[in-house]
Structures are given as C-alpha cells and as structure tokens.
C-alpha cells in the first residue's frame, strides 16, 4: 500500500538528553517520557514514521540509538566529532516505527547537546 503524505500533515519533534531510552511525551519537543504508557503513543498515536535524527554529541564517537516499541533497533547513529550531525531517513515517508519509538544517547548531554528526532504519525 502506498503511503500518502499531505502538505498539511504535521511533522513533530522530540528531544532526549539522557542515556535512558525515552518516548515522545508530546509532539512539540517536550521532555521525553520514560514509558510508552506516559507517551503520545498510548493515546492519540499508535505508530510513527521517523524522518530525521539530529544529534549534537558530547564527544566524538557518541551515538543515538532509536528503537521501535518492541525494542527492535531502527538505527544506531554515530557522530564522528562534536559538531551537529543530521541523518535523513526515507524522505517524507520516513521509517515506520510500530508502536511508536524510543531513543537514547550514549553520554549524558550538557547544555546545547542531545538528540532530536523529527517524525510524523502513521
């Protein structure tokens, strides 16, 4: 089945600055939730399509790990240095995360560091 992305379909974002796996708690960059039950995937949304991962690491070699709700790894993104990195996944359609998604970074971030995931509901 083809996936139709419409111009008026919003794109959301979620930020995580901890080494703990976190789910989106809202759709506009709010603090990420520790459990799926406390996330947007427990109510309004059931699945997500991940489009972009943006990461400002603490040190070179830090990673962002993204998993679907079942713990299946969608991607592990490794930063080559301390500058901001961006990975686009699947264009507008993105990568399907069944049951939503959770993500972590490999080192606890300081101000201006961390990872942001841009996504759409599916």
pLDDT score, position 1: 39
**Residue 54 three-state SS:** strand
pLDDT digits (tens, 9 = 90+) for 38-93: 999 998 788 999 999 999 999 889 999 999 999 999 999 999 889 999 999 987 78
pLDDT score, position 69: 94
pLDDT score, position 47: 93
pLDDT score, position 109: 82
Q: Is the torsion defined by CA of 84, 24, 88, 74 positive or negative? A: positive
CA distance 71 to 16: 17
pLDDT score, position 2: 43
Half-sphere exposure of 40 (CA within 13 A, CB side): 23
CA distance 73 to 69: 10
pLDDT score, position 7: 54
Mean pLDDT over 2-18 rounds to 72
22-36, 70-84, 87-101: which has the highest mean pLDDT? Answer: 70-84
C-beta separation of 64 from 103 below 8 A = yes
What pTM does this model have? 0.88
Domains of the chain: 12-121 (2.60.120)
Q: Mean pLDDT of all residues in the chain?
A: 88
Q: Which phi and psi (to 5°) does residue 15 adopt?
A: -120, 145
pLDDT score, position 39: 92
């Amino acid at each position: 089945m083809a996936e139709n992305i419409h111009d008026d379909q919003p794109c959301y974002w979620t930020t995580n600055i901890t080494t703990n796996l976190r789910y989106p708690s809202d759709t506009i960059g709010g603090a990420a939730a520790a459990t799926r039950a406390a996330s947007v995937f427990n109510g309004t949304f059931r699945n997500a399509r991940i489009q972009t991962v943006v990461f400002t690491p603490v040190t070179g070699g830090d990673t962002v790990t993204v998993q679907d709700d079942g713990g299946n790894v969608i991607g592990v993104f490794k930063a080559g240095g301390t500058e901001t990195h961006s990975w686009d996944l699947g264009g507008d359609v993105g990568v399907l995360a069944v049951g939503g998604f959770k993500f972590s970074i490999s080192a606890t971030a300081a101000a201006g560091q961390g990872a942001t995931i841009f996504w759409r509901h599916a």
